[in-house]
Amino acid sequence: MTKLILSTGNIVSGGPSIIRKPGGYRSNLELTNSLRSNFLAAQQDFANDAHNPDDAGAAAAAAALNGNGNSNGNGFHRSDGRPPASVWTAQEEGALYVPRIDWSLAGLQEEPAQYDITVKLFFLPTAPVAKRAQHAKEALDLVLRELDVKAVTLLVVSFPGMSFEGDCEWEADKRNATQGNAEEEAATWPAIEDLHRQGLVRNIGIAEFGSEKLAGFLKRVQVRPTVNQINIKNCCNVPPPLVKLAKEQGIELLVHSDCTDILSRGTLRELLGQGLQGAGLLAEPEVNGDGLKGDLAPQWVVKYTAVVRDRGVIENKGYFACAELMED
């Protein structure tokens, strides 16, 4: 079994992938577009570096290139024009980083105290519930490393299978009550509380909880969420029971526009596959038999945002996503 860590790098000044498209409301386009463009950029950058081995920064890439990762052995480029995976990805501590990450660039421009750092962790339906504690730790560790900080301001947890469609306020709240899995959500929460107790996360929150689910959830937790993110097309129509409950319980209702099941198997295969939009990492016998083989299961996605508090400037925003490859 191989673990894959996909990353976008900082997307905030990276161009159009951050721009909301008309009709792209509540979609995972930001994630998929920015992953795709980061893969492409890494392939270009590291391939160029490999061409210029006298460039100091290219040493690692060049070394990798000359190593045994170059399975088809036909020089710098494979027949499809993509550089071999070994050039732009990296095997590190039991995981394959796609693309490779230069951790020396990690960090923020100012002292950590200047920032509000919000992290949103998406548990996915394709991952085992039992591993959520481990996943939360892994995901948070990557964010802390990427931003070079000791703690984050807010961790919001998104559970699979939940959505809060607010077109018809009462209806949305009612439907929400039947969504998700209360047992699993409650069972997961102690792991999140632990991160809070360890001081890694100053506040914890949840997403897409309607009034009934929220009331039930609150009865079962020790450390209460301070935030509930909801997704509403017309935010003037927040269901009144939810408004009331949130107010009573001191929970802030924040807006978000993410979709809950943010990375599906199909999307992931497309991102990494041999298609025109893919990164060419997965073997697809009919196109290119080289590459990773097996079943690919998305495990979690984490989004992080660092905002300079008293200036309202987003300095860093990006995603990590984790998948498990079950070799045939």
Note whether 9 binds another protein by CB under 8 A: yes
- Cβ proximity to another protein, 197 vs 311, nearer residue: 311
Question: Is position 290 an interface residue for another protein (rule: CB under 8 A)?
Answer: no
Residue 176 within binding range of another protein, rule CB under 8 A: no
| Residue that is written with structure tokens 């990590």 in the block | 320
| CB-based burial, 239-249: b 16+ in 10 Å, e otherwise | bebbeebbeee
The answer to whether the CB of 34 falls within 8 A of the CB of 28 is no
Tell how strand 295-308 and strand 313-326 pair up: antiparallel
Contact with another protein (CB under 8 A): which of 138, 173, 315, 324? 315
Cβ of residue 1: shortest distance to another protein, in angstroms?
A: 29
312 binding another protein? (CB under 8 A): yes
Among 192, 200, 232, 282, binds another protein (CB under 8 A): 232
Q: Which amino acid belongs to residue 132? A: R
Q: Does 29 bind another protein (CB under 8 A)?
A: no
Q: Is 240 in the site for another protein (CB under 8 A)?
A: no
* Contact in structure between 179 and 161 (CB atoms under 8 Å): yes
**Residue 173 interacts with another protein (CB under 8 A): yes or no:** no
Note whether 210 and 173 are within 8 A (CB).
yes
DSSP states along 235-253: TT---HHHHHHHHHHT-EE
Give the range of 49-57, 210-218, 262-270, 291-299 binding another protein by CB under 8 A: 49-57
Residues with Cβ < 8 Å from 229, sequence gap 6 or more? Answer: 120, 156, 158, 205, 206, 207, 208, 253, 254, 255, 256
Interface pick for another protein out of 248, 286, 310, 327 (rule CB under 8 A): 310
252 binds another protein (CB under 8 A): yes
* Pattern 140-159, another protein, x by CB under 8 A: --------x-----x-----
Shortest reach from residue 263's CB to another protein, in Å = 18
In whole angstroms, give the CA distance from residue 6 to residue 97: 6
Closer of 10 and 126 to another protein (Cβ): 10
**CB nearer another protein, residue 256 or residue 293:** 256
245 scored as a contact of another protein (CB under 8 A) = no
User: What is residue 156's DSSP assignment?
Assistant: E
Helix, strand and coil content of the chain, in percent to the nearest 5, comes to 35, 25, 40
With helix as H, strand as E and coil as C, how does 6-54 read?
Answer: EECCCCCCCCHHHCCCCCCCCCCHHHHHHHHHHHHHHHHHHHHHHHCCC
CA distance 88 to 245: 49
CB of 57 to another protein, least distance (A): 4
Least Å distance between CB 99 and another protein? 9
Q: Is 106 in the site for another protein (CB under 8 A)?
A: yes
One of 31, 35, 58, 87 touching another protein (CB under 8 A): 58
Phi then psi for residue 168, to 5 deg, are -115, 105
**Binding residues among 187-216 for another protein as defined by CB under 8 A:** none
Please say which residue, 214 or 297, places its beta carbon nearer to another protein: 214
Residue type at 94 in one-letter notation: G
Q: Which of 137, 145, 202, 256 binds another protein (CB under 8 A)?
A: 256
Q: Half-sphere exposure (CA, 13 Å, Cβ side) for 296?
A: 24
Which residues would be at the binding site for another protein (CB under 8 A)? Answer: 9-10, 12-16, 18-22, 37, 41-42, 45-46, 48-49, 55-58, 61, 102, 104-110, 114, 116, 118, 148, 154, 227, 230, 232, 235-236, 238, 252-257, 305, 307, 310-317
